[in-house]
Each structure stands twice: as structure tokens, then as C-alpha cells.
Amino acid sequence: MTSNTSNEVAVETEERLRRVRAALDDVVDAEGLPGGAVALLDGDSTYYTFSGHGDLDTARDWSDESRQPIGCLSKVLIAYVAMMLVDRGVVSLDEPLCDRVPGACLRRDGVSAPITLRSALSHSTGVDQAFEVWNQVNPRTPAEYVEGLQGYRQIAEPGQVFAYNNIGTAVAAVLIENILQESWQRAVNTMLLTPLGISAIAEPEDGGGLSGLDETVVTGYSARAGGQGYQPVAPADLERVADCFGSTTIYMTPHEISLLARCAMSDGVGGNGVRVLSETLAREMRSPQIGIPGHPMYDSWGLGWLLFDDESFGFEAATEGQHIFLRMFKEEDRGFLVMTNSFPSFPLYSEILLAATDRQWPADGAAANTLQESHCVGTYEADGHRLEIRAASDGMEFKLFLGGGSENWYLLHQGQSAFAGGGALVLSSVNRGFQSAAVPIWVDDRAEPSFLRFGMIVLEKVSSADPGK
């Protein structure tokens, strides 16, 4: 078997780029998306294509100068700086951070949870996303965010289950600020963005503020109820400027996010040849740390990056009518970035994935069901939510309550629960328009699940008894 000649590779790349351009135009037109951009990473080269408008009212086109909020991709920026501190030897991945980040390990009733940087960066601190429902305070800094943990309930042991949220990022940000005695934003600028050739973000030391909010920032649009087109999302007001992690106040161009991707694919070396992180730790960032059973898109989480499967890693970020998908195939030395000023935009991701890589999502064929009714029936709780699953004559039923940290549960949704295949359930409440996948999670080879995840919220199973009896 002979390797492709450079001419054959060029022809293949040009064909994939043609398919990507056509897919972007077709989906923007068919789905009525405002617009978007795709970057195709191929070896040392990056190709860009744009379609539609960054703002519908002004008919301003998407272009190489267009910027959009990066959403939770800001978590990756913080993760990189934290890993750089590991590189310097000033902190380790597996030391408890109880002294370095006061309050990070304290929970209600005197419970101590020895959070480490590894559990913080892999979303396995043992605190669930319901904390953000229960914690009614709007924290203006990561330190204020961490303080709220002291009155909350620990759901699982650190490192035991995956629960996506802001908690680990807050702990990492406070750790950075306590070690360096400067804001995490300044650390991100000096240690990561400037060396990679990416524009600096706003720093609290300089008064903070919106990082260059101008006509280059695309307007976000969200899907209208019933799927009838998209409506503009109001820009972040001044109260949002203090956004703890920059998800709505950091803007980047497709080229800038591609520079970050290039660094990840080159194991810590930027496209300009500057090494910002050791090869060992760069690889650790994209190595699986905690599994995500039953998720339709994710396989596991690393130390900052998510893993789509054993061949690819990257990120999905969404905020305020914006959607970003970044997926990199290290062994193939290629990847792609999708940016669109509309949410949700899963059909665009699916078509670009197919055009760029010949892979399909969702995968063909239904996964086999591995659950039994006895696995699922019971009561699941966190401080913010309570879920009851009970047996019924024609299957299973559920009730979902919102608690806000009190004993007075408010019934939010109720309806049918059915097996969905692949170890998952579907909770459906037709009259309230609610539908969500729910995945029982086993730990320590127990006979029944200890937790259940629906969406990104994780609940502890507190009773196996049928709540309907």
C-alpha cells in the first residue's frame, strides 16, 4: 500500500472543502439559520468558509472578522492556565485543594469533599448542576461562586461521576488567582492567548467590561416556539459584564478559535511554534478522565477537553443564541470548527461532520436497551431537583419537582417514562412540552444505579421503593 501523493491529498482536501461549503449553505438555507462559519483544519493549513448574516437587521455578512461569544469554551482557557501551573510544579493534579481554595471542600452539615484539580477540570467534583438552581445568589467572581458550596449537599465522591457545571471551573479559577495573585483573565492573556497570537480579553484590573463589543460581534438568535424561525436574543446587559467565566463576554473569531485548536492538536505548541504546555500535560488534557454513559454526543471528559469518542476530542459551547462545535481528530491531523449565531444548530453540526469526515451523527441504528424497570423505579434527589419514577400499567411514569434547596417541592413536570436504548430513558411530558433523556449511572459494581443524569443534572438515588405504592 502506497501513501497518497501530495497532489492526491490536495485533491481530497479541495473536495472536502467543496462539500463543507455546500453543506453550510444548504443548512443555513433549509433550516433558516441566520448564518455561520466553518473552519476546516487540515495538516498545517486551515480553510474558512462563511454563509448568511451576522445580523439580520443590518444584513451584515459573516466574515473572517466576525466574532461571537465563546460560551463555555472559556472553561478550556482556564483549564490551560491551571495545567500550566501543574507544569511549573506549583500545584499537582491530585492534591486536595482544601487549603489552596478556602471553602472548596466544605459542604453542608460539616461534610468535607477533597476536590482535586483533576476532579475540577473533568467535571467530577461530586457537585451537580442543580447547584446553579439552588444557589440563588448571582456571583460576580469565582470566589463568590465557591463560597456558595458551603451550604450545599455533596451528591457523590470527587471523581465518581460526571456532572457538567461551573463548579470545577470556579475552583480552578480561584486556584489560579490565589497562586498568581492576579485575575484569571490576566493569567489567560499573558500565559495563553498572547503567546498563541490571540487577542487579549478584558481584565478586571483594567476595569473589565465587554471585550470589544462592536459591529464585528454577531447577534445571537434563538429558535422560536414551534420551530418557526429564529428571534434575536438581547445582548448581555451591563450586569452580565461580571460574568464569572467570560462565557457571554469573551468574543473570538473563527481564526482565533482555530489557533487554540491548533495548539491542542500539536500537543501544546501554537501555530507560531511557541510551546505553552508540556507534551505530557497537553495529552493529558485530551485523555479520558471520567466516562459519560448514555450521552448521545459525548463519550468522556478529559482535563478541559471533552472526548467525542476514542478518535476525537474538542468542545461544544452554547450561549445566548450562539452555538459552537469544535472537533479534532489528532491521529488524522485534521478537524473542524462550526460557529453559528443561532441556537440550537445540531443539524448544521451533523451535516458538517458528514461533509468533513464522512462520519454520521446521530449514528445509524438504535442502541440495544440494557435497562430493566427495576433499575429505574425509585426516588432521586439533589438540593435543586427531585425525580420520582414509578411503575404503571403501561410502563413507567415520572414526576419532576423543583426544590430550590427547601423541603417544599414544586411539581414541574409529570408524564411517561420509556426505554430509549443504550442504557437511557426518555422522560416526556406532552402537556408541558418537556422531553429529556435520563441515564441511570452505576458505580462500584452495585446491583442498581446510584445516580441518574437527565440533561446535565445529576441526582442521587435516595430510595429504591416505588413512590407510587
Last residue of one domain, picked from the residues 308, 341, 362 = 362
Integer Cα distance of 33 and 194 in angstroms:
33
Residue 109 confidence (pLDDT): 78
Q: Which residues of 227-256 are buried (b: 16+ CB within 10 A; e: fewer)?
A: eeebeebeebeeeebebbbbbbbbbbbbbb
Helix axes 167-180, 74-88, angle to 10 degrees: 50
Integer Cα distance of 19 and 389 in angstroms:
46
Residue 2 confidence (pLDDT): 37
Residue 406 confidence (pLDDT): 55
Task: Give how far Cα 83 sits from Cα of 76, 120, 404, Å.
Answer: 10, 12, 34
Last residue of one domain, picked from the residues 334, 362, 390 = 362
Integer Cα distance of 295 and 231 in angstroms:
29
In terms of phi and psi (left: phi > 0; alpha: psi -120 to 50; beta: otherwise), the region of 121 is alpha
Cell numbers linked to 254: 473563527
Residue 409 confidence (pLDDT): 85
Cβ count within 10 A of residue 156: 21
- Together in a domain, 137 and 244: yes
Integer Cα distance of 209 and 202 in angstroms:
6
Contact between residue 49 and residue 61 where contact means Cβ atoms under 8 Å apart: no
Q: What is the CATH number of the domain that holds 338?
A: 3.40.710.10
On whether residue 30 sits in a domain, the answer given is yes
- Together in a domain, 295 and 386: no
Integer Cα distance of 464 and 230 in angstroms:
43
- Together in a domain, 121 and 43: yes
Q: What is the CATH number of the domain that holds 446?
A: 2.40.128
- The residue whose grid cell reads 480579553 is 201
Integer Cα distance of 393 and 351 in angstroms:
41
Contact between residue 458 and residue 377 where contact means Cβ atoms under 8 Å apart: no
Residue 279 confidence (pLDDT): 98
- Together in a domain, 171 and 244: yes
- Together in a domain, 356 and 384: no
As for how many domains the chain has, the answer is 2
Contact between residue 218 and residue 67 where contact means Cβ atoms under 8 Å apart: yes
Integer Cα distance of 251 and 408 in angstroms:
41
Structural domain that includes position 65 = 13-362
- Together in a domain, 298 and 414: no
Integer Cα distance of 45 and 334 in angstroms:
9
- Together in a domain, 399 and 299: no
Integer Cα distance of 309 and 297 in angstroms:
9
On whether residue 468 sits in a domain, the answer given is no
CA-nearest of 221, 188, 224 to 204 is: 188
For the question of whether the overall pTM of this predicted structure is more than 0.85, the answer is yes
Cell numbers linked to 213: 463589543
Pairing label, strands 410-421, 395-402: antiparallel
Residue 303 confidence (pLDDT): 98
Secondary structure E strands in 95-136: none
On whether residue 469 sits in a domain, the answer given is no
Residue 205 confidence (pLDDT): 72
Residue 241 confidence (pLDDT): 38
- Give SS3 for 69: strand
On whether residue 7 sits in a domain, the answer given is no
- Together in a domain, 311 and 393: no
Integer Cα distance of 431 and 198 in angstroms:
48
Residue 4 confidence (pLDDT): 52
Q: Which residues of 172-185 are buried (b: 16+ CB within 10 A; e: fewer)?
A: bbbbbbebbeebbb
- Together in a domain, 339 and 407: no
- Together in a domain, 280 and 388: no
- Together in a domain, 435 and 335: no
Last residue of one domain, picked from the residues 336, 362, 388 = 362
Which residues, 6+ apart, have CB-to-CB distance to 377 below 8 Å?
389, 390, 391, 396, 464, 466
pLDDT values of the chain reduced to their tens digit, one per residue, 469 residues? 334 566 776 888 999 999 999 999 999 999 999 999 999 999 999 999 999 999 999 999 999 999 999 999 999 999 999 999 999 999 999 999 999 999 899 988 788 999 999 999 999 999 887 777 667 667 778 998 898 888 888 889 999 999 998 899 999 999 999 999 999 999 999 999 999 999 999 888 776 555 566 889 999 999 887 667 888 986 544 344 346 777 778 999 999 999 999 999 999 999 999 999 999 999 999 999 999 988 889 999 999 999 999 999 999 998 878 999 999 999 999 999 999 999 999 999 999 999 999 999 987 655 566 788 988 999 999 887 899 999 998 889 999 998 755 567 889 899 999 888 778 888 998 666 788 889 999 988 888 899 999 877 899 999 999 998 8
- Together in a domain, 231 and 116: yes
On whether residue 8 sits in a domain, the answer given is no
Cβ count within 10 A of residue 465: 11
